[in-house]
Amino acid sequence: MEESDNQLLDRYAAGEEPAFEELVRRHQRTIYDLAYRMLENHADATDLAQRTFVQAFLHLRSFRRESSFRTWLFQIGLNLCRNAIRDRARRTHENVEDLQLAGASDIFEATAKAEVRDRLGSAIRKLPERQREALVLRVYHNHAFAEIGAIMSCSEGTAKANYHHAVNKLRQVLVGKEGSL
């Protein structure tokens, strides 16, 4: 019978190193998937997934086991994603200013090509942060709305509303662009 996360955490706290590896192995794909869907590239997703586990083990004493270890990892991961997206937005803003000096037409051309390549991805990227988080947690990680609320530090109703808004917005964007799906 497979050990629970809490049993593994107890073993890790008692100094058993294999428990650490087992915990990471058990959740590495999920956290990487979350990071990839939020940041959309392998390098950033790898770095963020790694930092999520580091932060979790570094602050293990503050994990009170009121939620599951998995939920706690999601909370840490999502917080790191938010920071990474904001940092990236700041950097992009600076880069866009540089590009504008080079020539505005290049930017629009590049943007148009990217949108054609991935229209849905572009629509997802344009979603407000909270809506995007709810969408990723629901669609790709099959979380119940109560759990999404716990991860996003909001009520179940707010999580549900964020998700529904996200889906409706994507539908409107895609219908508007393509006429019909």
Partner 1 sequence: MTCSDIRNMTVPYLELELEGERVHQVTVHLETCLDCRSEMESVRQVLVRLKGRVVPDPGQRFWTEFPGRVREGLLHARAAVSRPDRTTQIRPNGLRVPWWPWAVAASVIVLLGAWLLVGVQLFGTQGNDLTKNSFPPKNEAINNGSRGSDLGDVAEVDWDKTWDEDDPDMVLVDIAARLDPLTVDRLFKEI
The residues binding partner 1 (CB under 8 A) are: 20-21, 24-25, 28-29, 32-33, 36-37, 42, 46, 49-51, 53-55, 57-58, 120-121, 124, 135, 139, 163-164, 167-168, 170-171, 174-175, 180-181
Q: For residues 152 and 161, give the distance between their C-alpha atoms in angstroms, rounded to a whole number.
A: 13
- Residues composing the chain: 181
Minimum distance from residue 61 beta carbon to partner 1 (Å): 13
| 51 versus 130: smaller Cβ distance to partner 1 | 51
Q: What are phi and psi of 12, to 5 degrees?
A: -65, -40
| 18 versus 103: smaller Cβ distance to partner 1 | 18
Q: For residues 121 and 119, give the distance between their C-alpha atoms in angstroms, rounded to a whole number.
A: 5
Minimum distance from residue 13 beta carbon to partner 1 (Å): 14
* Residue 139: DSSP 8-state: I
| 49 versus 152: smaller Cβ distance to partner 1 | 49
How many secondary structure helices (H) and strands (E) does the chain include? Answer: 9, 0
